[in-house]
Amino acid sequence: MTGQSELQHRYADAVMNTFGPPALALVRGKGARVWDADGKEYVDLLGGIAVNALGHAHPALVDAVTTQLATLGHVSNFFATEPQVALAERLLGLLGWSDGRVFLSNSGAEANEAALKLTRRTGRTRVVAAQGSFHGRTMGALSLTSKAAYREPFEPLPGEVTFVPYDDVAALAAAVDDTVAAVVLEPIQGEAGVVVPSSGYLPAAQDIARDNGALLWLDEVQTGIGRTGTWFAHQLLDGVDPDVVTLAKGLGGGIPVGATVARGTAATLLQPGNHGTTFGGNPVASAAALAVLSTLDADGLLEAATERGEQLADLLAQQAGVVEVTGAGLMRGAELDGPYAAEAVVAAREAGFILNATGPTRLRFVPPLVLTRDDLDAFAAALPAILDTARAAAGSTRETP
């Protein structure tokens, strides 16, 4: 039994089957590359699902976590710590909010749970969300997630949630009235396959929410922290200034951390006793997030995300079999000319690349922001054979009785 198969066998015997069999058993990473238990190397174009902003084993992150853990690891939220306060201040500064406040948690779902509870404090109970949305798997976050396969096994779900088509201003306007507490949207839908709305959609959503006294809540869990070439994806547009922003994934660079950031009246809605967390904002996670933000800034990784993202988009657009490329920065979607995305993931893995399929015809790319030109050149050279192999494999499967 190889190291890979042995670890996968142990996984099957010990870990709940919530994710299905793991495709690989990974043991080491550096930059935008990882190695499995048998020593095979891969270019990581998934980045832990948009989490590993600094890639793997980045020295700034390793040093920040090690130093903080050796200094002060955890004290609970009965007490303040310098990293916690500094992180909140930094996030408010990046958003440009002088009247904001931050709640720190451990994940995107938790950030969205806090935001959902915050909306209840408005005195209204309805929330309007978008079809194709993904906001998390906990019960509150799940109530905002539109995919029936995720929702239906756990219904009835909490809340009064109305789903409207994404990027449809008229449908949004028809759904929002003075009973709506908040409109929650992803600036770019990630789980749906990197779906980018028209440039007027978010400004219109802001106007609709404000006209009806509702909060505009932007879920930037996947799109935030430099992923699209700006600190937050809504900053790609002029004049979009949400009331609530939720963050996680890239914020900790692999260390669990989430944030619910609110401004103005929304920042005061949660008061003592309304919400809490044991681990959220602990010194180690906060130090990790500060290291990520500082390194993204110092190393010019927002600009790199833009440059590498354009290179990735160009190589995908030039590839036979790719009919559409969407996204911004290093958050890209590729629509294939047939239903062989799952086979492409397998073929890519055999060729030494980690990809992700979000649907039968859709690939999503959210690699580390430290991705290099050499990494992209290697992928460009391998991609034609990957898609040819995938197309043939899908055809063979469909022909099998």
Residues 8-40 have pLDDT tens digits of 999 999 999 999 999 999 999 999 999 999 999
Give the model's pLDDT for residue 401: 41
334, 266: one domain: no
Decide if 67 is inside a domain.
no
DSSP single-letter state for residue 366 = -
pLDDT higher than 80, residue 126: yes
Enter the pTM of the model. 0.96
Decide if 65 is inside a domain.
no
Give the model's pLDDT for residue 115: 98
Q: How far is the C-alpha of 345 from the C-alpha of 355, rounded, in Å?
A: 5
Give the model's pLDDT for residue 400: 43
Decide if 62 is inside a domain.
no
Nearest Cα residue to 229 out of 294, 296, 163 = 296
CA 283 to chain centre: 23
Give the model's pLDDT for residue 3: 86
pLDDT single digits (tens) 313-332:
999 999 999 999 999 999 99
- Going by pLDDT thresholds of 50, 70 and 90, the confidence category of residue 396 is confident
Give the model's pLDDT for residue 28: 97
pLDDT single digits (tens) 228-242:
999 999 999 999 999
* Domain-terminating residue out of 240, 269, 298: 298
Give the model's pLDDT for residue 179: 98
φ/ψ region of 39 (left if φ > 0, alpha if ψ in -120 to 50, else beta) reads: left
Q: What percent of the chain has pLDDT over 70?
A: 99
Decide if 263 is inside a domain.
yes
9, 79: one domain: no
pLDDT higher than 60, residue 398: no
321, 389: one domain: yes
Distances in Å between the Cα of 344 and the Cα atoms of 43, 141, 386 are 15, 31, 6
277, 326: one domain: no
Q: How far is the C-alpha of 331 from the C-alpha of 188, rounded, in Å?
A: 9
Decide if 313 is inside a domain.
yes
* Domain-terminating residue out of 249, 268, 298: 298
Contacts of 75 (CB under 8 A, 6+ apart): 81, 282, 283
288, 307: one domain: no
Q: Judge whether 220 and 234 are in contact, CB under 8 Å.
A: yes
Nearest Cα residue to 141 out of 112, 180, 162 = 112
pLDDT higher than 70, residue 217: yes
Decide if 164 is inside a domain.
yes
Q: Judge whether 91 and 267 are in contact, CB under 8 Å.
A: no
φ/ψ region of 298 (left if φ > 0, alpha if ψ in -120 to 50, else beta) reads: alpha
pLDDT higher than 70, residue 5: yes
* Domain-terminating residue out of 269, 298, 327: 298
245, 114: one domain: yes
Range of the domain at 136: 72-298
CATH of the domain at 315: 3.90.1150.10
319, 343: one domain: yes
pLDDT single digits (tens) 176-210:
999 999 999 999 999 999 999 999 999 999 999 99
pLDDT higher than 60, residue 399: no
CATH of the domain at 193: 3.40.640.10
281, 341: one domain: no
Tokens of 287: 């130090």
What SS3 state is found at 34? strand
The bridge status of strand 33-36 relative to strand 41-44 is: antiparallel
pLDDT higher than 60, residue 139: yes
How many domains does the chain divide into?
A: 2
| Average pLDDT of the residues in 157-173 | 96
| 132, amino acid identity | G
Give the model's pLDDT for residue 2: 82
Q: Judge whether 114 and 274 are in contact, CB under 8 Å.
A: no
Nearest Cα residue to 50 out of 293, 222, 193 = 222
Decide if 155 is inside a domain.
yes
386, 265: one domain: no
pLDDT higher than 90, residue 349: yes
Average pLDDT, the chain: 97
Decide if 394 is inside a domain.
yes
Q: Which helix (H) or strand (E) holds 185?
A: strand 180-185
154, 264: one domain: yes
DSSP single-letter state for residue 339 = S
181, 243: one domain: yes
